[in-house]
Amino acid sequence: MAAVPTVLVVGAGPVGLLAAAELARRHVPVRIIDKLPAPTQESRAIAIHARSLDMLARIGVVDQLLDTGVAAHAMELRSGGKCLLRVPLGSVDAAYRFSLNTPQTETERVLTEHLASLGVTVERPVELTGLAQDADSVRVSLHHQGGAEEHLNVAWVIGADGARSTVRHLVGGRLEGTFAGERFVLGDVDATHDLDSESMYTFFSPAGSVLAIPLRHGRMRVMAHLRHGEDTAPEGYPTLAGLQEIVDNRVGGITLLRSHWLTVFELRHAQVRQYRWGRVFLMGDAAHIHSPAGGQGMNTGMQDAFNLAWKLAAVVHDEAGSALLDSYHTERHPVAAEVITMTERLSRGGTLSGPGQHVRNTVLRAVSHVKPLPRAVAGWLAEVTVNYRDSPIVLRTHGLRGASVAAGDHFPDLGDNTVAHQLLKGWGPGHTTLTVAGNHRLPVPVHGHGRQVLLTANGTRVAGYDLVIADQQQLAARRLGLPEGGVVVVRPDGYIGAVAALEDRLAVTAYFAGLSA
């Protein structure tokens, strides 16, 4: 049995693994348990979108994941052999302008190896059986293989244990929403086809919809809506032959050769009312569930973990007040609420029958001719439109006229690969205060407020800065809307905490003071 941790993470899927790794990276004693004896062998969630790829680059594992998957640069919605709408994923404002399609098994493997490199291993099979908390700690009971029972006090618990979360049950939470939904069959199969391997496809037909996503090594993710009667199949359903029949009737041109995973599921859309329960936090499917339309689930859950980890570490190290932890719910609950709303609409649109199909197809054709709309859809899919501008912990009372970024926005892709690469190496586990010199004389750093990075025209070293980056053509400064200079405070999760003028040092101080309140 491991040493007593400060934080116990329950659940070792991608969300729990990322939460544990981000805490360990910030030197927070953490244990992570999972009741399964081994990691899942099912591919499950496969899409890692642009914003999550940016996050994984900050963590330092994106290259390992890129080697495992296929980059999808577009999503096509088709009917009758014609493209109704093409969503250009390459149009998004992010460093990685595509979605990576790779099995969840690979995502878990890479994150597990990363966690091990930080000195933490997943404890299996260990099951949480009891939880009680007071103002100072959480008392948990753990059941180990062989029948051993362990009881310990921890400061904090993170529930990342899925849709049937034990943590959620023990704190008295419940998922609230719509539980009677449409049914789908899903398969990961070996297949032959003539589709572009760098695109994802949704096919509409009078008989129903089919999703097809090419993967590596000749594999494909296929998902089909089950109409009434199709879900009353012989015992042993789903079968490869049954899925092939559906694909033939609705799409054609795809031959399924071998199944690696087949399942049937029902759509559910629900969320807990609160993400924080005293010293216990819920994230991922333990906090919200919804349709897989758009591949938002795992991405949203990992972003939950990325949002909470730096805040919890700051509180553990007495660098922030415990009220900071309330902002986890404030920032992330609305994001999942919007995901639920949007995926429910997408699912309804994809399962229409009769005249509704004609209306849907007509609308999609019209949307395809209004260029900003497909780009807007791409931005939502990639999660690059998420912002925290209404968060109580970002400095909204300041700002800078002419700046193209604002507090609560995600720090943008700078468009200059050299500057972006140096900046990526410069991000640390804490805050970064980025000073853009512009045409002004080299400014004095704002000491005591995170890692100090200076962006100048010539890269001249200036005392007090941890990193100085040359922006010779001012591409990065103009991208930020700060050609005359300014200060941007970047949070550990890549979102902007404050934007201020060079001379407005009080704004930076005010932002950090707010975290300590």
**pLDDT at residue 1, as a whole number:** 46
Give the pLDDT band of residue 179 (cuts 50, 70, 90). Answer: low
Structure tokens at 446: 């704002």
Angle between helices 14-25 and 104-117 (to 10 degrees): 20
Instruction: Render pLDDT for 385-396 as a digit per residue (tens, 0 to 9).
Output: 999 999 999 998
Instruction: Render pLDDT for 321-376 as a digit per residue (tens, 0 to 9).
Output: 999 999 999 999 999 999 999 998 988 898 898 999 999 999 999 999 998 999 99
In whole angstroms, what is the distance from residue 399 CA to residue 367 CA?
35
Give the pLDDT band of residue 231 (cuts 50, 70, 90). Answer: low
CATH of range 417-516; options 3.40.50.11720, 3.40.30.20, 3.30.450.90, 3.20.19.10 = 3.40.30.20
Q: Is the pLDDT of residue 378 over 90?
A: yes
Q: Is the pLDDT of residue 142 over 90?
A: yes
Q: With CA atoms as reference, report the closest residue to 101 among 71, 122, 141.
A: 71
Q: Is the pLDDT of residue 399 over 70?
A: no
Tell me if 293 sits within 8 A of 487, measured CB to CB: no
Residue 318 forms beta bridges with which residues? none
**70-99+183-266+352-386: CATH architecture:** 2-Layer Sandwich (3.30)
Place of tokens 């069959």: 185
In whole angstroms, what is the distance from residue 288 CA to residue 294 CA?
15
Give the pLDDT band of residue 232 (cuts 50, 70, 90). Answer: very low
In whole angstroms, what is the distance from residue 453 CA to residue 489 CA?
10
Place of tokens 């049954």: 242
Give the pLDDT band of residue 43 (cuts 50, 70, 90). Answer: confident
Length of the chain equals: 517
- How many helices (H) and strands (E) the chain has is answered by 13, 27
Burial class of residue 306, CB neighbours in 10 A (0-12, 13-18, 19+): buried
Tell me if 320 sits within 8 A of 295, measured CB to CB: no
Burial class of residue 198, CB neighbours in 10 A (0-12, 13-18, 19+): middle
Helix/strand/coil for 228: coil
In whole angstroms, what is the distance from residue 117 CA to residue 230 CA?
47
Q: Where are the domains of the chain?
A: 7-68+103-178+271-349, 70-99+183-266+352-386, 417-516
**pLDDT at residue 503, as a whole number:** 86
466 or 417, higher pLDDT: 466
Assign a CATH topology to domain 7-68+103-178+271-349.
FAD/NAD(P)-binding domain (3.50.50)
Contacts of 371 (CB under 8 A, 6+ apart): none
